[in-house]
A and B are shown apart, each in its own frame.
Chain A
Amino acid sequence: MQTNDNQRKPSVVDTRGLRMRYGPTDVLKGVDLTVGQGEVVALLGPNGAGKTTTIEILEGFRKRSGGDVRVLGVDPDEGDEAWRARLGVVLQSWRDHGRWRVRELLSYLSAFYEPYREQVFDTDELIDVVGLAEHAHKRIGTLSGGQRRRLDVAVGLVGRPDLLFLDEPTVGFDPEARREFHELVRRLTGTTILLTTHDLTEAEKLADRIVILVSGRVVADGTAAELAARIAGKAEVRYRLDGQEHVLSAADSTGYVRELFAEHGKAVEDLEVRRADLEDVYLALVRESEEVTA
């Protein structure tokens, strides 16, 4: 196995200045991304930010226009079948193998990994893990959206991958299916996962680290707490004065409120101070970056 030749500790995914261009459009404008061993990283961003393109390049399905990319120490453009056997891939929408049965497909697919992996998932155990035991002999085409997605994850896990890609795993889910899916992902402790989502709550729930991608650039990278801290202290202050509503954002909200009372005393009504949460951070970042690009 290859390792990175510099001082950085070897990471599972490592991109430097990753660029992608379709015709005249730059979709990725120099993305730096690392995913460490055992880490769950969410690539978060609005639609069209380049999340799927990034993941497809890492999976070796798409040739990049520029930059340095290493996945499991290998350039995905040159990844061979042995490299491929170490990856689990769950793409956005699968409709394949609708006529196959759940167990049949998983058992068929696991055979491919046996020559490469020390241990592949036992098919029945895997079906259990993703909660499809009672559907094991159903035709795949008859599964519900949530069941189908769990099967997709099972397919991704068949070879006990060193790295699992999940591209927008819960798009179109109802809240119940989404919750079940999140529980499933959390059960996969120890698996290195790179997932994309445009759902902030999902990123916060599942990921150790969140990388925010907007218009082909990484605009923030850190844990949910670190990201929130970026505009910590800033808070929204809302109150009514002489019947008139006031809303403003204050860096020193406590000080602002103290002065407010000193000045107006009992005339201040319905006071509300709300600290910026991750969502505000995210929306602010997206807005800023989109303004810069526009």
Chain B
Amino acid sequence: MNPRVVALRAGVRRGRIEFGQTMTNAGELIGWLWLPVVALVVMYAFGDGPLPGVDFSLGAQSVPGILAMNAVFTGLMGLAMALTMDREDGTLLRAKATPNGMLAYVIGKVLGKAGLTVAVLLLMLLPAVFVFDGLEPGRVSTWVTLAWVLLLGLLATLPIGAILGAVFGNAQSLGFVMLPIMGLVAVSGVFYPITALPGWLQAVGQVFPLYWLGLGLRSAMLPDALAVAEIGDSWRHLETVVALGAWAVVGFALAPVVLRRMARRESGSGRAAAVS
């Protein structure tokens, strides 16, 4: 059989194994769930005021945004952290010592984190539709939109995670990335409609995929009438596809280059030599 096909399959297997490891480890699962749980609880407790101009609770409106934010934390940051940690413990070097191992490693990591992102999102969404009034789980379009938005969102954000994980030397330095991401959360209309921000901040928010992922998820889960709270009074599906698609194209063009450079540098005593 073609060795690349073998590696591809092995990558899928790796993704499945690592996804299974996370899902069966209570401690780790709680680690991934606490942040969105806290965010949702806070919005449930304090978000009972109405959205300006519409008869709809602020809390329910924020659910898709929180899920989008968490998808970025789980997928993008999770992948970046996994890459730095795997470099520290030699997992990456092991992949390099195996024929076509690097290809399988990257495929496995991406699939594992993508699976985890979807699983965490569903684990949060299912209770949320019972707790928050006004979400629309009964429509077919809800789930169709959710599926394509999430897929595009993952394609747009996971390569960024891989690049960050390759560029940053260790898990600690990766912590600095959290700051700009928190800033991004603030300008991406996660908790409150982006239309409340000044125009230039709206422009900044619309450059990055988090805003578009959130917008897409809102369009999936919220009643159509709520589009009036968005820019242009519209869910802007076409723009969502273009924006997320552009991030995906750039990410998929850059990530292999950066990952290859990272792999080339990988050697057993590399870190030891750098330290001493």
- Compute how far the CA of A108 lies from the CA of B95 in the bound complex, rounded to whole angstroms: 11
**Interface size, chain B (Cβ < 8 Å):** 31
Residues from 87 to 141 in A contacting B, C-beta threshold 8 Å: 87, 89, 91-100, 104, 108-109, 111-116
Find A61's partner among B10, B13, B104, B266 (CB 8 Å cutoff): B266
Q: Are B269 and A112 in contact (CB under 8 A)?
A: no
* Nearest opposing residue in chain B for A53, CB measure: B269
Residues of A125-167 whose CB lies within 8 A of B: 155, 159, 167
Q: Report Cα–Cα, A56/B3, bound state, in Å.
A: 25
Q: Are the C-beta atoms of B10 and A111 separated by less than 8 Å?
A: yes
CB-CB under 8 A from A56, the residues of chain B are 267-269
Assess whether B86 is interfacial by the CB under 8 Å rule.
yes
What is the minimal beta-carbon distance from A274 to any residue of chain B, in angstroms?
38
Q: How far is the CB of B12 from chain A (nearest CB, A)?
A: 11
Asked if B90 contacts A114 (CB within 8 A), the reply is: no
| B1 pairs with A115, CB closer than 8 A | yes
Chain B residues whose C-beta falls within 8 Å of the C-beta of A59 in the assembled complex = 97
* Max chain A C-beta neighbours (<10 A), residue from B98, B101, B104, B266: B98
Contacts of A159 in B (CB 8 A): 99
Q: With both chains docked as a complex, state the minimum distance between the C-beta of B112 and any C-beta of chain A, in angstroms.
A: 12
CB closest chain-A residue, reference B10: A111
Rounded to whole angstroms, the CA-CA distance of A22 and B276 in the bound complex is 12
Contact B97 A89 (CB under 8 A): yes
Taking a contact as CB atoms under 8 Å apart, the answer to whether A112 and B268 are in contact is no
B2, A115: Cβ atoms closer than 8 Å:
yes
Chain B residues with CB under 8 Å of A104's CB are: 17
Question: A192 contacts the other chain (Cβ, under 8 Å)?
Answer: no
Within 8 A of B (CB), among A72-97: 81-82, 84-85, 87, 89, 91-97
B236 CB within 8 Å of chain A: no
Beta-carbon nearest neighbor of B269 in chain A: A52
Within 8 A of B (CB), among A10-47: 22
User: How far in angstroms is the closest Cβ of chain B from A80?
Assistant: 9
Of residues 1 through 25 on chain B, the ones whose CB sits less than 8 Å from some CB of chain A are 1-3, 6-7, 9-10, 13-14, 17-18, 21, 25
A95 with B90: CB separation less than 8 A = yes
CB of A92 within 8 A of CB of B269, answer: yes
Query: A193 CA to B10 CA in the complex, in Å?
Result: 28
Task: Indicate if B55 sits at the interface (CB-CB under 8 A).
Answer: no
Contact residue among B86, B89, B104, B267 (Cβ-Cβ distance under 8 Å from A112): B104
Is A115 a contact partner of B3 (Cβ separation < 8 A)? Answer: yes
CA A159 to CA B98, docked complex, whole Å: 10
Q: Is A240 an interface residue (CB 8 A)?
A: no
In the complex the two chains form, what is the Cα distance from A112 to B9 in whole Å? 10
- Asked if A112 and B17 sit within 8 Å, CB to CB, the answer is no
How far is B267's CA from A22's CA once the two chains are assembled, in angstroms? 14
Interface residues of B in 83-98 (CB under 8 A from A): 86, 89-91, 93-94, 96-98
Indicate if A205 sits at the interface (CB-CB under 8 A): no
Interface members, chain B 237-276 (any A CB < 8 Å): 266-269, 273
Q: In the complex, what residues of B have CB within 8 A of residue A186's CB?
A: none
Q: Is B100 positioned at the interface, with any CB of A under 8 Å from its CB?
A: yes
CA distance A23 to B93 in the complex (A): 24
Which residue of the partner chain, among B90, B99, B273, contacts A81 with CB atoms under 8 Å? B99
Chain B residues within an 8 Å CB radius of A113: 99
Q: Which of B2, B91, B97, B268 contacts A84 (CB 8 A)?
A: B97
Interchain CB contact under 8 A, B90 and A94: yes
Q: If the complex has contacts A114-B6, A155-B94, are A91 and B268 also in contact, measured as CB distance less than 8 A?
A: yes
Q: Which of B68-122 contact A (CB under 8 A)?
A: 86, 89-91, 93-94, 96-101, 104
Instruction: Kindly report which residue of chain B lies nearest to residue A55, judged by CB atoms.
Output: B268
Q: Tell me, rounded to whole Å, the shortest Cβ–Cβ distance linking A78 to chain B.
A: 13
Give the CA-CA distance A155 to B7 in the complex, in Å.
17
Beta-carbon contact of A112 and B90 below 8 Å: no
A96 is contacted by which of B14, B18, B90, B269 (Cβ under 8 Å)?
Answer: B90
Provide the bound-state CA to CA distance between A58 and B1, in Å.
28
Residue from the set B10, B91, B268 with the largest chain A CB neighbour count within 10 Å: B268
Task: Confirm or deny: A62 has a beta carbon within 8 angstroms of a beta carbon on chain B.
Answer: yes
* A96 with B268: CB separation less than 8 A: no
Docked pose: A111 CA to B13 CA in angstroms:
11
Q: Given A61-B268, A115-B1, decide whether A97 and B91 contact each other with a Cβ distance below 8 A.
A: yes
CB-based contact B9/A111 at 8 Å: yes
Return the chain B residue nearest A87 by Cβ: B97
Residue of A nearest to B90 (CB): A96
Is B91 touching A85 in the complex (CB atoms < 8 A)?
no
A81 close to B266 (CB less than 8 A)? no
Asked whether B94 lies within 8 Å of A97 as measured between CB atoms, the reply is yes
- Known pairs A59-B97, A108-B13, A108-B14; list 11 more (Cβ under 8 Å): A61-B96, A61-B97, A61-B268, A84-B98, A84-B99, A91-B268, A96-B91, A97-B91, A112-B7, A112-B98, A116-B99
